[in-house]
Amino acid sequence: MNLVSIKGDECNIDALSTLQDLTGGNIERVDPVNLTQNFASMLSKPVIATNVVCKIKLHKGLKFRNELVEYLSNKDTQLTKDMGSVTEDNVFTFEYTIKSIEELLALEDVDMTQIKELPF
């Protein structure tokens, strides 16, 4: 979700940043004095692709962190995010971690005694 904030308003930029991170959007702060120039500048960035969906699959021993459950599948090893329309300025980030010992031992088709590293 892309957001536009007017400079001088009392929006909670920290909360908006969290929302922007979760949705893969951008936040633009515009000066009301230069509103038409700011919007023209934002709209001048060419769209590279539309209806973009990012899918990332991790090794079974890893899982995503700090993602909404509705974006995750396959025991938290697959992340799918709808990015919408993207320009060259769009950035997509994610975090991952190793699963707990209990989760690793519960993996039926992975012999943890043979694992020296988890590929990414």
Q: What is the pLDDT of residues 73-90, one digit of tens each?
A: 998 999 999 888 888 888
Residue ranges covered by each domain of the chain: 1-44, 46-120
More confidently predicted of 52 and 36? 52
DSSP letters spanning 48-90 = -EEEEEEEEE--TTEEEES--GGGEETTTTEEEEEEEEE-TT-
Cα separation, 37 vs 30, whole angstroms: 9
Q: pTM for the whole thing? A: 0.61
Tokens of 37: 């120039």
Predicted confidence at residue 3, as pLDDT, reads 64
Cα separation, 79 vs 81, whole angstroms: 7
Of 93, 96, 115, 94, give the one whose Cα is nearest residue 104.
115
Q: Predicted confidence band at 64 (pLDDT cuts at 50, 70, 90)?
A: very high
Cα separation, 10 vs 58, whole angstroms: 40
